[in-house]
Amino acid sequence: MGYVVGVDLGGTQIRACLADMKGSILCEARQPTLAKEGLQPVLQRMKETIAQVLHGISGIEVLGIGVGSPGPLDPRTGVVIAPPNLPGWRNVPLREILSQEFGLPVYVNNDANVAALAEQRFGAGRGCSDIVYLTISTGIGGGVISSGQLLLGAHGLAGEPGHTTVEPAGPRCNCGNVGCLEMMAAGPAIARHALDLMQQGQHSTLWAVVQGGMELTAEMVGRAAQEGDDVALQAVARAAHYLGIGVLNLIHIFDPDRVILGGGVSKLGSLLFDPVRAWVREHAMTDLQRETPVVPAALGDQVGLLGAVAWAMDRISSL
Amino acid sequence: MGYVVGVDLGGTQIRACLADMKGSILCEARQPTLAKEGLQPVLQRMKETIAQVLHGISGIEVLGIGVGSPGPLDPRTGVVIAPPNLPGWRNVPLREILSQEFGLPVYVNNDANVAALAEQRFGAGRGCSDIVYLTISTGIGGGVISSGQLLLGAHGLAGEPGHTTVEPAGPRCNCGNVGCLEMMAAGPAIARHALDLMQQGQHSTLWAVVQGGMELTAEMVGRAAQEGDDVALQAVARAAHYLGIGVLNLIHIFDPDRVILGGGVSKLGSLLFDPVRAWVREHAMTDLQRETPVVPAALGDQVGLLGAVAWAMDRISSL
């Protein structure tokens, strides 16, 4: 039986693991990314972390290394183009660098895409050939598996439903587009909705936070919503409304077996899921699609590692 | 060399052809659909039209029959569920009926999906592995080819970008959803936009049509726009605005080599294409995607027939 190394290159941590072809993790290592130090130190720490798991267990055959990295990147060439949260990274041939270092085939893909693959193989999408995965935190990333295949696109840039317009009258997004799902439904949007409502004169327990000069976060709004604060509930409901629109749009485009929602904002639970499910039930085109399950992600903070493992397995088995 | 029969079951006409594996048509036959007569007479005319082309040329090997039919339908089972413009059709096992009649394998798919395949194999998307195709007339249908594969979805219902919300404040669509691309940018929307502007007091050469008691059509508005009528120009621009949003959303989701626009409304030419291309150029996430070509369909009214041929070829070659 062969093994693969999975690497999760995050803005905060670099993690690596050794796993078998069923996704069982044999050993794991991690280091802080310290992204601000720039390209070379981060690459060095990646190599060290990989070496640790590679040499942790002897006498087994390692078939390749899978890497989940912040995008944009080209999964076909393994070149990382210019990730906003990795300063100094521009057109980095990550595949080449790591495969020269370790003498193994390396497979790079973006973090949200490999997360989708992980949920389909090992998580909330097990047994499904068609899934849509969204991860909702400070941004909205995504990945789609259609007929068992991860959607890549002509230049490896497919799977950015977070940057589709769901509100033409909405604000301009950093990406250049207008009223993106991410601008209307991710964490910062929830905080902004709450702030807007308070500035319009509505009372909220969150006002103390703002008056105290602290930055309002989606987590604070979420907590206030759980406690019944009306402004917080409205802010979450507004995000859930747009998320419902985005999810149903993806159902009409992809007709998936299920939609999987992960990321920090998905921890709002039924406050978020119930209105999304209701929107789908009330607005989908066909009975089958009205019933599309919208479910929470299952892999928690292992999703990046397992995604890197799944992507390597996927490439190796397609050889 | 093998041959296939292609069948285009339309609301107005039933067409059939015999083609080789390169998509060259050897002979063709057609009959009016007369859909109002109901299921059995339409099936009978389909069989006759297919028999005509099958027996038109002797001594050649026919490998199968491809059918493009109005949806919704399940391409995996070949069951046509309930097409709005074919009265009396409910869960019709079209594949079974035709394969029993002719003793050949039959491959059924919906008309917009097979049209996408035809444009990719023989038309404006030749040589591309990833295309998004939209046909804009009284509705907006679509089909997507990703990594060379037609997107089907879990129940064969994928590829309905016409029914994604692009205007949350828009009107409810017949499909059950709100502010669908089809409601904002198809032919009837163009006519409705023009009517709204005239009812708000704007002057137009089209007012004579309305006063005369005739129904305003997108074609009339298009003609007036070509002649410089301001209301008509605004109505077309509004549709093009929403079409631009819809097209860019699909570019961010699929990262296609190109986007192909067909159907009657696409004949508006640069009045429609220029603002769509400008929207993409000004709002796409990456340089590569800003440059995504948005091009007119190439196959005209042969697209349905060639689509049915392409779908049969696709299935036969995947066996």
ipTM of the complex: 0.95
Instruction: Compute the 3-state secondary structure of chain A and give helix, strand, coil in percent, each to the nearest 5.
Output: 45, 20, 35
Residues B278 and B305 in one domain: no
Q: Which residues of chain A neighbour B157 with C-beta distances below 8 Å?
A: 255, 285-286, 288-289
Residues B229 and B290 in one domain: yes
Residues B98 and B13 in one domain: yes
Are A284 and B160 inside 8 Å of each other by CB?
Answer: no
Question: Distance between CA atoms of A24 and B49, rounded to whole angstroms?
Answer: 57
* H or E, element range at B13: strand B13-20
Residues B172 and B55 in one domain: no
Please give the interface size between A and B, counted as residue pairs whose CB atoms are below 8 Å apart.
Answer: 149
Residue B75 contacts A where some CB pair is shorter than 8 Å: no
Is residue B95 a contact partner of residue B106, using CB atoms and an 8 Å limit? yes
Task: Tell me the HSE value of A258 on the side-chain side, using a 13 A CA sphere.
Answer: 16
Q: Which residues of chain A neighbour B169 with C-beta distances below 8 Å?
A: 169
* H or E, element range at A9: strand A3-9
CB count in 10 Å sphere of residue B199: 9
Are A158 and B253 inside 8 Å of each other by CB?
Answer: yes
Residue A154 contacts B where some CB pair is shorter than 8 Å: yes
Residues B70 and B179 in one domain: no
CB count in 10 Å sphere of residue B237: 16
B196 within a domain of the structure (yes/no): yes
Q: How big is the CA angle at B102 (ends B96 and B105), to the nearest 5 degrees?
A: 55
CA-based nearest distance B257→chain A, Å: 5
Q: Helices (H), strands (E): how many in chain A? A: 11, 13
Residues A307 and A254 in one domain: no
CA-based nearest distance B282→chain A, Å: 7
Nearest CA in chain A to B146: A153
Are A253 and B176 inside 8 Å of each other by CB?
Answer: no
Are B245 and A161 inside 8 Å of each other by CB?
Answer: no
In angstroms, the Cα distances linking A232 to A171, B161, B226 are: 21, 33, 51
Residues A57 and A142 in one domain: no
A184 within a domain of the structure (yes/no): yes
CA-based nearest distance B272→chain A, Å: 18
A89 within a domain of the structure (yes/no): yes
pTM > 0.90: yes or no: yes
B69 φ, ψ to 5°? -130, 155
A88 within a domain of the structure (yes/no): yes
A122 within a domain of the structure (yes/no): no
Residues B52 and B110 in one domain: yes
State how far Cα A202 lies from the chain centre.
Answer: 33
User: How many domains would you assign to chain B?
Assistant: 2
Are B146 and A130 inside 8 Å of each other by CB?
Answer: no
Bridge partner residues of A245 (DSSP) = none
Q: Tell which of B283, B290, B291 to mutate to test the A interface (max A CBs under 10 Å).
A: B283
Residues A141 and A283 in one domain: yes
Range of the domain at B110: 3-117+301-317
CA-based nearest distance A51→chain B, Å: 34
Residue range A151-175: mean pLDDT, rounded: 95
B313 within a domain of the structure (yes/no): yes
Tell me which residue in B154, B252, B255 faces A154 most closely, judged by beta carbons.
B255
Residues B150 and B274 in one domain: yes
Residues A70 and A13 in one domain: yes
Are B245 and A165 inside 8 Å of each other by CB?
Answer: yes
Residue A157 contacts B where some CB pair is shorter than 8 Å: yes
pLDDT tens series, chain B, 319 aa = 789 999 999 989 999 999 998 889 999 999 999 999 999 999 999 999 999 999 878 888 999 999 999 988 999 999 999 888 899 999 999 999 999 999 999 999 999 999 999 999 999 999 999 999 999 999 999 999 999 999 999 999 999 999 999 999 999 998 999 999 999 999 999 999 999 999 999 999 999 999 999 999 999 999 999 999 999 999 999 999 999 999 999 999 999 999 999 999 999 999 999 999 999 999 999 999 999 999 999 999 999 999 999 999 999 988 7
Residue A77 contacts B where some CB pair is shorter than 8 Å: no
CATH number of B74's domain: 3.30.420.40
Residue B97 contacts A where some CB pair is shorter than 8 Å: no
A226 within a domain of the structure (yes/no): yes
Residues A133 and A162 in one domain: yes
Helix ranges restricted to H, chain A: 39-54, 94-102, 111-122, 181-185, 187-199, 207-211, 218-226, 230-254, 270-283, 287-290, 303-317
Query: Which strands sit side by side in the sheet containing B92-93, from one edge to the other?
Result: B73-74, B79-80, B92-93
